[in-house]
């Protein structure tokens, strides 16, 4: 059973794990919105590096969903992502758009810019599910408890694994009912989104059960996150690279089909070594 993820332009073969490279769009205070603004050039150069390093998918986001991030209006979010998407859409690589907003999804889907909608709110925004259903995009449905602005203030679960599993199952059911075929859907437990370190560890340890119970591919995003920092006592995200690679390998070994990472080169190297040593080629 080799899973495939059906997206707008690409059918992504998940018989080997895939790497989603993170392209964060840095706010540019000097931007005139023009094609040659410094931040656009930097963003595209970064995307090019990620591809060179072995990324299989690029994930583009214009609104930070970190705890305590500043509010970004939909207008600003679109201003940030539009020029990047317009360029990357011509690169023949699957483009994922990280957004929670139906209006942003609609604009990007109308322009034919994206292959995948990566939504940390699992298409809960009004109209989002219908929009995706009317497109042929793939989608990643992620679990979050609360909202980015308050999610890390004392998250509580009775049974985190059970609650996340039930939530995602219900979202899948609704998506299918709305007309989104199951082969377009991947699932994500949402590490760090309204979860303590103990919750994150419990979810990671139950990945095999989660992946078999859904029969849908799991995407895992732990790159440079606080949970890694807590395990290795590193406050600075850039110092969490090795810890993040270890967690990505663990996730893959426990059933994750896609890992969302900042450090594509290091992650791909580690995955290649792991693959050679596993020797079931």
Annotated active-site positions, please?
225, 260
What are the phi and psi torsion angles at 72 (to 5°)?
-120, 125
The DSSP code for 69 is: P
Binding ligand 8Y4 (rule: CB under 6 A), the pick from 27, 54, 237, 255 is: 237
| 277 CB-near residues (< 8 Å, 6+ apart) | none
Stretch that binds ligand 8Y4, among 58-66, 87-95, 126-134, 168-176 (CB under 6 A): 58-66
Closest CA to 187 of 146, 217, 145, 163: 217
145-174 residues near ligand 8Y4, rule: CB under 6 A:
none
Count of chain residues binding ligand 8Y4 (CB under 6 A): 17
Q: Among 18, 101, 199, 224, which residue interacts with ligand 8Y4 (rule: CB under 6 A)?
A: 224
Q: Candidates 35-43, 131-139, 150-158, 184-192: pick the segment binding ligand 8Y4 (CB under 6 A).
A: 184-192
Q: Taking the complex as a whole, how short is the minimal distance between the CB of residue 98 and ligand 8Y4, in angstroms?
A: 4
Asked if residues 261 and 269 have their Cβ atoms less than 8 Å apart, the reply is: no
**Between 98 and 115, whose beta carbon lies closer to ligand 8Y4?**
98
In angstroms, rounded to a whole number, what is the distance separating the alpha carbons of residues 173 and 164?
Answer: 14
Of positions 7, 8, 118, 152, contacts ligand 8Y4 by CB under 6 A: 118
Q: Give the number of other CB atoms < 10 A from CB of residue 273.
A: 11
Q: Is 219 in the site for ligand 8Y4 (CB under 6 A)?
A: yes
CA–CA distances in Å: residue 38 to residues 30, 32, 86, 89: 8, 10, 16, 20
Q: State the residue for tokens 């089909």.
A: 257
- Per DSSP, the residues of 178-244 read HT--GGGEEEE--TTSS--HHHHHHHHHTHHHHHHHH-S-BEE--TT-HHHHHHHT--SGGGGHHHH
Three-state secondary structure call for residue 119: strand
Using the minimum distance from each CB to ligand 8Y4, give the nearer residue, 5 or 191.
191
Q: What is the DSSP letter of 156?
A: -
CB of 106 or CB of 234, closer to ligand 8Y4: 234
Among 105, 188, 211, 245, binds ligand 8Y4 (CB under 6 A): 188
Q: State which residue, 93 or 187, has the beta carbon closest to ligand 8Y4.
A: 187
Smallest gap from residue 91 Cβ to ligand 8Y4 (A): 20
Instruction: Give the other-Cβ count within 10 Å of 130's Cβ.
Output: 14
Question: What CA–CA distance (Å, rounded) separates 48 from 129?
Answer: 31
In the complex, what is the shortest distance from the CB of residue 195 to ligand 8Y4, in angstroms, rounded to a whole number? 10
| 142 lines the binding site for ligand 8Y4 (CB under 6 A) | yes
Residue 221 lies near ligand 8Y4 (rule: CB under 6 A): yes
| 56 is a contact residue toward ligand 8Y4 (CB under 6 A) | no
151 touches 192 (CB < 8 A) = no
Q: Does 120 bind ligand 8Y4 (CB under 6 A)?
A: yes
**Residues near ligand 8Y4, by CB under 6 A:** 61, 65-66, 98, 118, 120, 140, 142, 188, 190-191, 219, 221, 224-225, 237, 260
């Amino acid at each position: 059973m080799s899973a495939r993820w059906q997206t707008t332009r690409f059918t992504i073969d998940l018989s080997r794990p895939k790497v989603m490279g993170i392209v964060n769009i840095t706010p540019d205070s000097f931007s005139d919105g023009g094609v040659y603004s410094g931040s656009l050039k930097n963003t595209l150069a970064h995307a090019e590096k990620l591809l060179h390093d072995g990324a299989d998918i690029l994930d583009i986001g214009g609104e930070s969903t970190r705890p305590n991030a500043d509010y970004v209006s939909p207008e600003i979010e679109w201003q940030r992502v539009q020029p990047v998407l317009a360029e990357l859409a011509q690169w023949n690589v699957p483009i994922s758009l990280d957004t929670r907003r139906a209006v942003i999804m609609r604009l990007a889907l109308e322009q034919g810019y994206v292959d995948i909608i990566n939504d940390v709110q699992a298409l809960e925004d009004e109209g989002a599910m219908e929009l995706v259903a009317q497109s042929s995009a793939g989608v990643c449905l992620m679990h979050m408890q609360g909202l980015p602005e308050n999610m890390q203030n004392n998250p509580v679960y009775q049974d985190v694994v059970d609650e996340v599993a039930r939530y995602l199952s219900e979202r899948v059911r609704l998506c299918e009912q709305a007309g989104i075929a199951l082969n377009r859907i991947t699932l994500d437990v949402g590490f760090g989104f309204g979860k303590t370190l103990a919750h994150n560890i419990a979810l990671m340890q139950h990945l095999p059960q989660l992946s078999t119970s859904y029969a849908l591919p799991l995407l895992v995003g732990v790159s440079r996150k606080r949970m890694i920092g807590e395990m290795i006592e590193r406050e600075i995200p850039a110092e969490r690279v090795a810890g993040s690679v270890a967690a990505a390998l663990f996730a893959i070994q426990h059933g994750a089909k896609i890992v969302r990472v900042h450090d594509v080169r290091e992650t791909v190297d580690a995955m290649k070594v792991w693959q050679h040593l596993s020797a079931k080629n």
